[in-house]
Structure 1
Amino acid sequence: MNLTIAQTYLPQDDPDAALAFYRDALGFEVRNDVGYNGMRWITVGPANQPDTSIVLHPPAADPGITDEERRVISEMMAKGTYAAINLATEDLDGLFEKLQADSNIEVVQEPTDQPYGIRDCAFRDPAGNMVRIQQA
C-alpha cells in the first residue's frame, strides 16, 4: 500500500492576508480559490509537489460546529494554539532572512539547532497558525 499526503487543512480568517503569506512570502502556487456564501477556500502548494496541497479554509464553515465551538476556535487561533504545519527548505537561513524582513510576519523563533537533531525556525501565519520550517 502506497499512501501519500494529498491535502492538509489550515484555518484562515483573512483570505487576502493568507494569500500574501503562503503565495507571496513562501512562494506557494495557488491551485484553487473558491468562494461560497461570503467565505473563501484557497488551495496552495509548492510548485514542485503538485500532488500535495494546503487548503486554507474558513474555520467555522462546518455546519456541525456550535457557537461555543466557534468561540473556542477563534480564541485558540488568536493564541496560535489551534493549528500548525511543519515545512522544510534547503536554505533555512536564507528563507528566515527573507521572511524576517517582512514586517507583517511574526517571528516566533530564529533558526535554532534543536536537541532532537533538526535545525528549524518558527513563524505565525496571519491567522495565528504556527509554521515551523526546518533545514531539509
Structure 2
Amino acid sequence: MTHSGAMTLKLTTVHLIVDDPDKALPFYRDLLGLKLIGDVSHEAFRWLTLSPPAQPDIQIVLSQPHAGRTKEDGDAIARLLAKGTLGGALFSSPNLTETFEKLRASGADVVQEPTNQPWGVRDCAVRDPAGNFIRISQG
C-alpha cells in the first residue's frame, strides 16, 4: 500500500562477475539476446554493460573480479567465482524450449533441463562461461 509522498524505487543496474569478458559477451549478447550498450576498458580491466531489449532501462554490468577492487577482495571474489558460488541471475523467456535448445546447442553448461517446478514455474538452469548460475523461466 502506498501513501502520498512515498518513495518509488526502480531497479536500474545489476552486477555480475565474470573472469573473461571475451567469453561472457557472446553468451549474454548472442545466446541470451541482450543488447551491448557499453564496453569500457581501464588499465587491464573491462566492464561490459548489456540490457534486455524488452527492459531497456535495466543494465547488467559484467566486470572482472579485480576490476575496481583491492587485490585481496579480487582474489576472494575470484575464488568464489571459480567455485560457482557467487549467485547469478534469473531471466524469463516467452519460449523457454527454444531458448534452452539454443543454449544447449551452443555447448552451454546445462545444470537443469526445462522442468515444471513445485513452486509453479517451468524453468531451466545453465552456467555462463564464468560459472555463474543462470535460471530461465517460461514467461
TM-score by length of 1: 0.91
Q: Which runs of 5+ in 2 are unaligned?
A: 1-6
For 1:2 and 1:92, how far apart are their aligned partners in 2?
A: 32
> Equivalent pairs: percent with the same residue?
47
For residue 96 of structure 1, what is the aligned residue in structure 2? 100
- Equivalent in 78, 81, 95 of residue 82 of structure 2: 78
SS at match of 2:106: coil
Pairwise CA RMSD of aligned residues?
1.3
* Corresponding residue pairs, total: 133
- Equivalent in 28, 37, 50 of residue 31 of structure 1: 37
For residue 107 of structure 1, what is the aligned residue in structure 2? 110
Query: What amino acid is the match of 2:57?
Result: D
**Residues 13-65 of structure 1 deviation map (CA, whole Å, 9 limit, x = unaligned):** 111111110011111110100000010000001122110110001122233x4
**Residues 93-114 of structure 1 deviation map (CA, whole Å, 9 limit, x = unaligned):** 11101111112x1111101111
The answer as to whether partners of 1:10 and 1:57 remain within 8 angstroms in 2 is yes
Q: Which runs of 5+ in 1 are unaligned?
A: none
- Equivalent in 19, 26, 41 of residue 20 of structure 1: 26
For 1:51 and 1:127, how far apart are their aligned partners in 2?
A: 25
Q: CA deviation at 1:66?
A: 4.9
For residue 51 of structure 1, what is the aligned residue in structure 2? 57
TM-score by length of 2: 0.89
For 2:46 and 2:9, how far apart are their aligned partners in 1?
A: 28
